[in-house]
Every structure is written in C-alpha cells, then in structure tokens.
Amino acid sequence: MLRVSSVILAGSLVCSQTYAATPMMHSWDTVGDVMAAHGKYKAQPSDDEVVFAATHYNWFTTGTGCSLDNTTFTIEDDVQQFGARLKAVNPAIKVGMYWRSDFAMEVSQCSAFAAEWKAHPEWRLKDDSGAVIGTPNHYYYDYLQKDVRDFFAKVLVSSLSKMVNGKPVLDYVYVDGGSLLDQSFVPHGGKIGLQRSNQLVHAKYATLADVQNQLDALGHGQNAILNGMDTLAAAELHVPSGAVGSMFDHWSILQYIERSTKTGTDDGEFNKTMMDTAFQFTQNPILSNHTIQIKGWPGPIIQQKDMYPPNIPTPKTPAELQKDALDRFNSELALFLLVAEAKDFWIYSWFWGIYDYIGGNPASSVPPNFFPEAKCKLGAPNGQFQRVAGTWTYKRQFEHASVLVDLNDRNASKVTFDSC
C-alpha cells in the first residue's frame, strides 16, 4: 500500500503524492502481545497505575478532559505527560492521543488551539439554510473551507510534536468520528443535503490524508489511526487516506446481535450472517497492509453502556464487571484470533475509561491481576480460518493453541492452549 496526499477537487478525493506505509505489528509470543488499550482519564493516573498500563499493554490510546482548577492546562500537555510516564516504564510502548473529528469538543475547551478556534466562528458548519449546527463545545468543522482543513491538520500534527531524547512522546493520533458517503454528515441531523454531505466526507478524509503526509515528512514514524471501519464502504475511505490503521469498534455487539421479530428486543444470539460477513471483511485484500484494531467486548452487549439482553443478568458493580470480563475472556479472544494477523490488535474491555484497562482502582472493571490467559503462549497462526462446511462453526490453528468459534453459541467459542 502507499501513503497518499490528497486535495479537494469538485468534492472528490484526488491523490497527488505517495509514501510507503508500514502497519502496526505485534509478535505472537503470548496472548498479551496482541492486546492494546484505549482509555481516557480524568486525572493523571498514579505511579502504580502507570506501571500497570505500561507492563500489560504494548499500545495505549488515551486522552483527557479539562482541568477546571488549572488555567494553564492544555490537554496536549497532559496527555504528553502521561505518555512520557508510560515510556519511562516501558520505552517500547506506543502511545496515541484521542481526538474527535466531527465536532470541536476537545479543541474548543482546553486545547492549545482553543483561542484560535473561538476566534473564527465562520469555521463552524452550517446547515443548508445557513444556520450554525451544534452548540458551544459541540460545533462541527466545515471541512469544505481550506482554512478549517489546515487548522485541524495543524492541531493533530502539533499534538505529536513533543520529543524526549530525540524520540516522540506520542506515536499516533487516534481520530474518532468516522464518516460515510450517502448519509447525513451530521449524525441524526438531516440538515445537510446528500451532495454537500458527500463533499464534506471527501474533504474530511483529505484532511486526514494531509495529517498523515505531514507526519511522514517529519520522519519520526508517527501515524494516524481512524475509527469506524466496520464495512467495506468505510475501508474504501480509510485506506486511501494513508492512515496506518482503523478500529472495528462494534465487533460482535450491537448490530451483530440478533433481534427478535416477535418482541422487538434483543435475545443475545449472533446475527450469524452479519458476523460471517465481518469475518470475511477482515480478510479483504484492501486491508492487506492496514492494521485493524478490533474492539473486543465481554459478551452480547445490546446497548451502550454495558447492557446485556433481558435474558442475561447485566453486571452492575465493579466486582461483577470484573468477573464477567474474566469469565468471558477466552470465548471473546476466540472471536479475535479467528481473523487476526500480525498487524491486528485486540482491545478487550467494557468501555472507554482508563479503569476499563487498569486494575486495582475501586472503579476498575478489569481484574486487579489482569487476565491470567494473557500470559499463555500463542505462536503464529498456521494459516487462515476455515469454516466447517454446512455449519456456523469456524476453526483456526496456532503454533501453541487452537481456536473454535461457534456462531450458534457464543459461549461455546474457545481457545484451547497446548499448555498454560
């Protein structure tokens, strides 16, 4: 695959320059080597929590909100501080910063670029009648304006600028707010016509391509990772941007859970056809050099946050969340390992907070001693997965483990280790 630099021409994405791309990679030594984290914090984690994060994950995406008692605070400074602390414990860990790309929440509050954004109200996206869309701290970017594209690219690239001993503190930006063609650019809005919505989508991905090209030109190996790649239509926008990877964030939950036609409620069973399509999608040639961050979840979540279908007790307390995450670790791991390549990572948690990844805090939903099977030997896969003819059962073999996935029974899916 090649990096691409892009420009806007008549609402389309046009490639004008190329760079070589290298996806994220992991080893196959243990289960822990394929695991990554994605959790935002409200206050700087303690030293013990930093050690936990740096010793259990090789990749960590994070972000923070505003500090109300510190007028000199910027979110860039704070995340860079956390990143530096992680790397002091584990110099090999890769750390990324979270940013939204649809509305200017982080930028408008306590970013280093908040004042510049507020000084340009003309940059806010308007609906087709000319009215500004959104509310303070939730105004949308109008990517059809070059000044807006240049501004947001500057924000993202600058957030990775801090260096220590000649090496970057942050290795990537994680960009949330995946947009698709042929639907409203503003979620649930319906305030922008389809033609302009599509132009905005193209302009947004051209901005992200510009971010990646600027990072390439700096020569520090930094990258962009994008959210919202669950379909081929999304991949056809993500991959040409040149971003190194994307997240498949609803893996096996929400729309992948069968819906009862009688009651209109979810029953917790897989939509087998959709899950099979998801398995096949991960093997599509368009993704052959593109990292997939697969977001794993503890069981059949039908609604965020953390809700199971009526026939399964929904955990409420941290202890219950920890127990369910521990009990379901093996079967959920099977769903990832069935399709994983050396360029793909598994992010297993209940949600997106820091204590969904770090144990030992009263609010933690992850066990205090992590997941024992993370230490199990795995080894490289012996090939692609195979579907058992005439069934919804799939198998795959690794050097030190075998994987079984049964779409008729989520709990029957399992990873069997040779020794652990």
Q: What is the pLDDT of residue 65?
A: 86
From CA 210, how far away is CA 204, in angstroms rounded?
10
CB-CB contact of 25 with 342 (8 Å)? yes
Q: Centre a 10 Å sphere on the Cβ of residue 134 and count the other Cβ atoms it contains.
A: 17
From CA 95, how far away is CA 58, in angstroms rounded?
9
Q: What is the pLDDT of residue 1?
A: 42
3-state secondary structure at position 82:
helix
Q: What is the pLDDT of residue 20?
A: 44
* Positions in the chain whose pLDDT score sits under 50: 1, 5-20
Mind giving me the DSSP string for 112-179? TTHHHHHT-GGGB-B-TTSPBPS-TT-PBB-TTSHHHHHHHHHHHHHTT--EETTEES--EEEEE---
**Token representation of residue 382:** 């012996």
Positive or negative torsion for Cα 186, 275, 400, 370? positive
For the chain, helix (H) and strand (E) counts, in that order, are 9, 18
Secondary element (H or E) of residue 194 = helix 194-218
Closest by CA position to 159, among listed 199, 205, 110: 110
CB-CB contact of 245 with 302 (8 Å)? no
Q: What is the pLDDT of residue 81?
A: 96
Q: Kindly tell me the burial class for residue 140, based on how many C-beta atoms sit within 10 Å of its own C-beta (0-12, 13-18, 19 or more).
A: buried
Query: Residues 310-323: pLDDT tens digits?
Result: 889 999 999 999 99
Q: What is the pLDDT of residue 369?
A: 96
Fold of 2-103+145-380: TIM Barrel (3.20.20)
| E strand intervals along 190-290 | 223-227, 245-248, 257-259, 266-270
166 half-sphere exposure, CB direction, 13 A CA radius:
0
Q: What is the pLDDT of residue 66?
A: 79
From CA 264, how far away is CA 389, in angstroms rounded?
32
Q: What is the pLDDT of residue 15?
A: 42
From CA 168, how far away is CA 95, in angstroms rounded?
10
Closest by CA position to 266, among listed 279, 277, 280, 252: 252
